[in-house]
Amino acid sequence: MMKGLENIFKPKSVAVIGASTQKGTIGREILHNIIVNEFNGKVFPVNPKASVIHSIKCYSTILDVPDMVDMAIIAVPREIVPMVAEQCGQKGVKGLVVISAGFKEVGGKGIELEDQLVGIVRKYEMRMIGPNCFGIVNTHPEYSLNCTFGKTRALTGRVGFISQSGALGEAIMIHARELGLGFSMVASIGNKADVSANDVLEFLKDDPDTDIILLYLENFGNPRHFTKIAREISRSKPIVAVKSGRTRQGAAAASSHTGALAELDVGVDALFDQCGVIRVSSIEELFDVGAALSNQPMPKGNKVAIVSNAGGPALLATDALVSLGMELPQYTGETKAKLKKALTGQGEVHNPLDLVAGAGGEAFKKALSVVKNDKNFDSIFTICVPPVTINQMDVANSILAGIEGCKKTVLTCFMGAGEGSAAVEYLKSRNVPVYIFPEAVAKTLSLIDGYRRWLERPRGQFKTFRVDKKQVQERIDRALKKGEKAVVSQDALDILEAYGIPTTKCAVAYAEKEAVTAAEKIGYPVVLKINTPQILHKTEFGGVVVDLRTAKEVRDSFQGLRKKIPAIKKGEKFSVVVQEMVTGGIETVIGMTTDPSFGPLIMFGLGGIYVEILKDVTFRINPLTDNNVDEMMKSLKSYPLLTGFRGSEPVEMDTLKESLLRLSQLVSDFDQISEIDINPFIACSAKGKSKAVDARFILRES
Amino acid sequence: MMKGLENIFKPKSVAVIGASTQKGTIGREILHNIIVNEFNGKVFPVNPKASVIHSIKCYSTILDVPDMVDMAIIAVPREIVPMVAEQCGQKGVKGLVVISAGFKEVGGKGIELEDQLVGIVRKYEMRMIGPNCFGIVNTHPEYSLNCTFGKTRALTGRVGFISQSGALGEAIMIHARELGLGFSMVASIGNKADVSANDVLEFLKDDPDTDIILLYLENFGNPRHFTKIAREISRSKPIVAVKSGRTRQGAAAASSHTGALAELDVGVDALFDQCGVIRVSSIEELFDVGAALSNQPMPKGNKVAIVSNAGGPALLATDALVSLGMELPQYTGETKAKLKKALTGQGEVHNPLDLVAGAGGEAFKKALSVVKNDKNFDSIFTICVPPVTINQMDVANSILAGIEGCKKTVLTCFMGAGEGSAAVEYLKSRNVPVYIFPEAVAKTLSLIDGYRRWLERPRGQFKTFRVDKKQVQERIDRALKKGEKAVVSQDALDILEAYGIPTTKCAVAYAEKEAVTAAEKIGYPVVLKINTPQILHKTEFGGVVVDLRTAKEVRDSFQGLRKKIPAIKKGEKFSVVVQEMVTGGIETVIGMTTDPSFGPLIMFGLGGIYVEILKDVTFRINPLTDNNVDEMMKSLKSYPLLTGFRGSEPVEMDTLKESLLRLSQLVSDFDQISEIDINPFIACSAKGKSKAVDARFILRES
């Protein structure tokens, strides 16, 4: 898959097609950047209207270049992009970076041009980044390649950055530079017409110079492939991602209950959670986390020590940390004693440590050299606010001296240090990330802690159960043949039963007498429901009668329902479902909906108000591992109801969990099912009692 | 109350006691700041060791100063602070600002010194800010007074700032300056030994040069007074506040259910909500909101138009806005047509407007001059990311031209504009706040929108009901006399009844026969409960038997309970409560807990799992208005259960609401009650059926 990307990121010779002498044009800036960054290879400007650009001989077309060219950057008007790409192919160029815009992103003619371009790329077996992108960067000294049109030079570092937005490119380069964040590689992938984010991810996975990957995404091309790669990479290199477009409209209207509950974003959350991707909610957080991960070791836990020269900001930091689930334990006795000795005149010592007013550098050094050895902490968070009596550079030096040899994560906050403070720059240059506000440090620590917890989770197992696939296929085929989009009632329960998901006993009855016979076979009490796919919300409609205890009650209810439902579909005979009544237990809802980009999502939640009003539901991308199922349950606010609340018996969990895994298998096996509601699935405390009471399958129109 | 503050903030002559020539000392910096800020009055350095400081004649003591002195700033070692304060009193100085630290904040000797200092201040009827503070600022040209020891000069503006943290002072001044935020007055109030935040608030309330008030608070001295002032000020001047210490431990262990549910911070949230204070969660947000409010008009609603030169950041902005409850409606037809005409080559026009790639200044001007007149929007959010082909100053100019005469709120985001960008500085100087990240703009708009909604809320009414106070006093006195800290069972219900809160009929029975007689009087079915304050969780203990339908059942249950409860307190006779059984309805919980600083908080929530597991409860500070009660109900996630869910009857709300108001009156009337649980109060749909079933009062130990 990733074959050929080395020609783009690690070329020995580069052509800039559309190079220009005119300042402020993209073609000029790209060439300029390549040269001033001292690209460690040959560069050939191409432009029919010039013979020399930026002191370098210029060629009319790439075909005129005498040497081999590994990669060509194209920044010409969109209409001639296909032509120059064709020439690149003829020339034997292996990689293209197409900066030019006006393709699929503008629609119309742009789509046509992009298709044409992709055809040429495929024909010559080239690889292409873009079109409509900001360019690429490889800071490794063996290449030192910066072919972007930005004004900001990337610092060298160990962060790989993939951005889907070209427009954000320059803003991001500036921000990273201000933070002192260095890149190994940068790829602005634009329209992803050939090379996708997944391709670059795979490339960075094996890149020995990349330790951390930052992602800015607007959509997923192939989420299943992303899942596979990201899950693998996350084990060794953290991936931090912003995914925008969270609230965009556009998902097709859902016809199931589960579908209606799936907000547009649950798929992304589920996906990132399942692959260990650190999801951040802004570019700012992306780089805050990137700066911490690329400069400091991963913390081993969530326990933070704060060392501050002022109480106010330490309080703000404590608030932020605790509200994000981090802990601020107290010192060991040894630390306490040592601190008291080291900090004369300090009075009380406790975490957060508020150094006496006017504490200068020396106090930071003394405090940190004790705290860094306290086993109660995993990370250290220092805060300095600048009273006039303190020399910030002293503080910076003293922090560095204090944490020497420290194995814990150290992040610092210099509130109001002022722009371009020398102390701040100095700390950054010594791999101690500096933040302006304590809340940013707290957020960063908590996001990284989430990743640590993911790494520590046991790896889940996929399970395969013996099931009756044929029986399910028959029910689906029968429905499709009848032109029905839904499978409901007995047929739906039969499908579950075929996959080993327990269901209530039931039978369809077309007449009073049949209903009574069925009830007697099932055993009283029973429930009667109207049996038609046309009525979705049977309860609201009054189409369900519960707790029938005698033959007479069954007969009366049958007649009652018949009267209520005058408008049966033509040719359909009135019928009811007679069903075993389950008493006790807790109503749960199990479902599936299909996300346009992520495919099937499995849902679980508690029934009734928990789903309807509190929306206390959870989604995971299919297929599920046993651990996914565990996490789904535990992530619900209403989870304690399942484990026994106020002396009630806990639910027998094995059947419930296995039912979710069996549903996952069913969903994997049948692509024709687009949505499922099992509502309710009643979870009981006694083994063998939990059962699906009602189910509904929506089939894909194909 | 605020009398005398004009001597501090608006003095004609100032003495600096502890003035010094030594650079880097506080005494030098304060004098320096007063002089370089060109204080519009006389300044007298005081220091026995110098005859001239900073070219100004220096006096040994304030008593040597020949002129009248309105205000003295004291920056001397803590031990001699009382002495110099005494001299100030003798001199007739009216206001003190004590910078010196080492007082109550360090404990021990410091407490003594502070008490001594306050005594002197009171004796001479002076007013004092501090000790342990950063100083004060009044930028009004009539005074132009900056007596802080910071290096950063405050810009002139219309924001009043009150900070409890001295250490944050300088950090905040720097940050404000970077944002271009101008102050009318700044007060660092330190230990608040005399002048409190409330005093300064009252002073700023009437200050014609202050339009907005920013607060940094660590605790409330007198929250009831704060409530009164803040509620009044918020009607005309927005107050924005950070309150830190949200997660600090320290509240006394609660002995009621309600108390246990009240997290430390609910009082602050309730207080701010009740007074219309905009609560922000960081210093960063404090100033983000301050910059918007002080430069732009208040938006009239929550509808935002985004105009961006790039899709990526517009997406990020949309995500952030929508997730915060803001709306992005579409253009009117007229706007659409005009935009299409104005922006040639733009293609589709919709909100958010993504100007074609490379859009320069001109496009912003054209777009904004149309969008600013669209009635569908209340605020405009422009985003500019810097591709190399765009001149940022052009964009800034063009934004200004485009929004000329615009009545809507305009906030801008220049992502990655780089430090000290001229365009950014220019926009700020023209009252258009500029933010680096789109998320900050979204948060700012949503916080301001919350304030707008508060302003639009109807003002609530306090209600007074005719009640039987005497009866309640009797019950309380009786319990206290017996040395009981709790009032439970019948006595507790009697208290509610006396205040017109409906309760179930019940009676205490000491023998089987009495129980049966009571049950017959009340009417079957009844509930039997053990009657002793010693057992708190009667249900878990098995001390409650429900749904007794016959005399025999009552007798059996009486015996059963007696066997269960062997350990009755000495001298106490075994008894049960026989109670009317309420069927149907929804369980709610009404309660009260006393916050150490806010006093009584009233709680409301739905019973059972909603309270126990989902913690879906809401608090307000007593006393409650009718609107407070409305808001409490509506703020619950489980609110829809009260208004009818899945075809169930809505609850009759008047009785429920009135019960809360009556409880509020009870709490106001009886200071001896420290906690209340009414659990459950069953809310029914039929009028006259809702009733308190059980209640428990905890009395204050006095």
Report the 3 state secondary structure along A508-530: EECCHHHHHHHHHHHCCCEEEEE
Write out the residue range of the structural domain in which residue B533 sits. 505-581
Residues B181-196: b if buried by 16+ CB within 10 A, e if exposed? bbbbbbbbbbbbbbbb
User: Between chains, do B245 and A315 touch, taking CB under 8 Å as contact?
Assistant: yes
Instruction: Report the CATH number that the domain containing residue B573 is assigned in CATH.
Output: 3.30.1490.20
Domain boundary among A520, A555, A580: A580
Is A309 a member of any domain?
A: yes
Q: What is the mean pLDDT of chain A?
A: 89
Residue A22 has what pLDDT?
84
Contact check, Cβ <8 Å, A614/B150: no
Of B171, B179, B129, the C-alpha closest to B150 is B171
Q: What is the pLDDT of residue B214?
A: 96
User: Which member of B170, B439, B609 has the closest CB to residue A416?
Assistant: B170
- From A490, A496, A552, A562, select the one nearest A524 (Cα to Cα): A552
Residue B211: per-residue pLDDT: 96
Contact residues, A window 165-224, toward B, CB-based 8 Å cutoff: 165-168, 170-175, 178, 216, 218
CATH code, B335: 3.40.50.261
Q: Do A26 and B640 touch (CB under 8 A)?
A: no
Residue B288 confidence (pLDDT) above 80 = yes
In contact, A634 and A616? CB cutoff 8 Å: no
Strand A599-606 to A617-621 pairing = antiparallel
Question: Alpha carbon of B478 to those of B467, B481, B486, B602: distances in Å?
Answer: 19, 5, 11, 25
Q: How confident is the model at residue B249 (pLDDT cuts 50, 70, 90)?
A: very low
Is there a domain that residue A263 lies in? no
Is the confidence at residue B662, as pLDDT, over 90? yes
The reply to whether B243 falls in a domain is: no
Q: Among A115, A144, A107, which Cα is nearest to A10's?
A: A144
> What distance, in Å, lies between the first and last C-alpha atoms of chain B?
30
Give the distance, in angstroms, between the CA of residue A359 and the centroid of all CA atoms in the same chain.
43
Range with the largest mean pLDDT of A156-170, A436-450, B264-278, B632-646: A436-450
- The pLDDT > 70 percentage for chain A reads 93
**Residue B373 pLDDT > 80:** yes
> Is the minimum CB–CB distance between A264 and chain B shorter than 8 Å?
no
Q: Residue B537: CB partners within 8 Å, gap ≥ 6?
A: none
Same-domain check for residues A435 and A508: no
**B209, two tokens:** 């040069």
- Assess whether A410 and A385 both reside in one domain: yes
A319–B246: do the CB atoms touch at under 8 Å?
yes
What is the pLDDT at residue A264? 61
If asked whether residues B431 and B526 sit together in one domain, one would say: no
Smallest Cβ–Cβ distance between A310 and the set B167, B311, B539 belongs to B167
What is the per-residue pLDDT for A248?
46
Domain assignment present for residue B382? The answer is yes
- Do A177 and A303 fall into the same domain? no
Residue B225 has pLDDT above 90, yes or no: no
Question: What local confidence, expressed as pLDDT, does residue A249 receive?
Answer: 39
Of the residues A177, A210, A243, which one is the last residue of a structural domain? A210
Facing B170 at nearest CB: one of A24, A386, A614? A386
Q: Of A173, A195, A210, at which residue does a domain stop?
A: A210
| Confidence category of residue A359, pLDDT binned at 50, 70, 90 | low
The answer to whether residues A544 and A491 belong to one domain is: yes
Which residues in chain A are closer than 8 Å to B413, comparing Cβ atoms? none
The answer to whether residues A598 and A575 belong to one domain is no
Residue B647 above 90 pLDDT? no
Name the A residues in 434-453 with CB < 8 Å from any B CB: 436-439
A52/A146 same-domain check: yes
pLDDT score of B254: 47
Residue A609 vs residue A131, higher pLDDT:
A131
Would you state the pLDDT for residue A253?
Answer: 43
Residue B700 per-residue DSSP state: P
Inter-chain touch A416–B641, beta carbons under 8 Å: no
Testing the interface with B: which of A315, A636, A638 to mutate, by most B Cβ within 10 A? A315
In this structure, are B391 and B517 located in the same domain? Answer: no
- The answer to whether B24 touches B53, Cβ cutoff 8 Å, is no
Q: What is the mean pLDDT of residues A489-514?
A: 92
| Contact check, Cβ <8 Å, A388/B640 | no
Query: Chain B contact for A388, CB < 8 A?
Result: yes
CA A66 – CA A638 distance, rounded (Å): 71
**Residues 319-378 in B contacting A (C-alpha not used; CB under 8 Å):** 319-320, 322-323, 347, 356-357
pLDDT in tens, A535-545: 666 666 678 88
Report yes or no on A197 lying in a domain: yes
Cβ contact A233:A213 at 8 Å? yes
A669 and A575: one domain?
no
- Give the count of domains, chain B: 3
Q: What is the pLDDT of residues B155-214, one digit of tens each?
A: 999 999 999 887 788 888 888 888 889 999 999 999 999 999 999 999 999 999 999 999
Whether residue B189 contacts residue B129, with contact meaning beta carbons closer than 8 Å, is answered with yes
Report yes or no: B416 at the A interface, CB cutoff 8 Å: yes
Q: Are residues B62 and B181 located together in one domain of the fold? A: yes
| Same domain, residue pair A355 and A494 | no
pTM: 0.86
Report the DSSP pairing between strands A71-74 and A13-17. Answer: parallel
Domain at B140, CATH number? 3.40.50.720
What percentage of residues in chain B have a pLDDT greater than 70? 93
In the prediction, which pLDDT does B173 show?
Answer: 86
Residue to substitute from B26, B315, B610, interface A, most A β-carbons within 10 A: B315
User: What does pLDDT average to over chain B?
Assistant: 89
pLDDT of residue B2: 45
Phi, psi angle pair for B689, to nearest 5°: -100, -25
Instruction: Kindly determine whether residue B416 and residue A312, on different chains, have CB atoms separated by under 8 Å.
Output: no
Q: What is the pLDDT of residues A401-420, one digit of tens each?
A: 999 999 999 999 988 776 55
The answer to whether residue B125 sits within a structural domain is yes
Tell me the β-bridge partners of B56: B53
Whether B471 is covered by a domain: the verdict is no
pLDDT computed for residue A373 by the predictor: 96
Residue A358 has pLDDT above 80, yes or no: no
Token pair in block for residue B235: 């009607």
- How far apart are alpha carbons B409 and B378 in whole angstroms? 7
- φ, ψ of residue B13 to 5 degrees: the values are -145, 140
How distant, in Å, are the alpha carbons of A554, A579, B170, B653 from that of A523? 12, 9, 79, 43
**To which residue do tokens 């006389």 refer?**
B42
Interface of B with A in 532-551 (CB under 8 A): 539-540
Find chain A residues with C-beta within 8 A of B25's C-beta. Answer: 389
- Answer yes or no: is A251 within a domain: no
Residues A504, A392 share a domain: no
Q: Considering only CA atoms, which of B400, B424, B392 is closest in space to residue B178? A: B424
Helix (H) / strand (E) containing B53: strand B52-53
The Cα–Cα gap between A88 and A70 comes to: 10
Residue A525: how many CB atoms within 10 A of its CB? 16
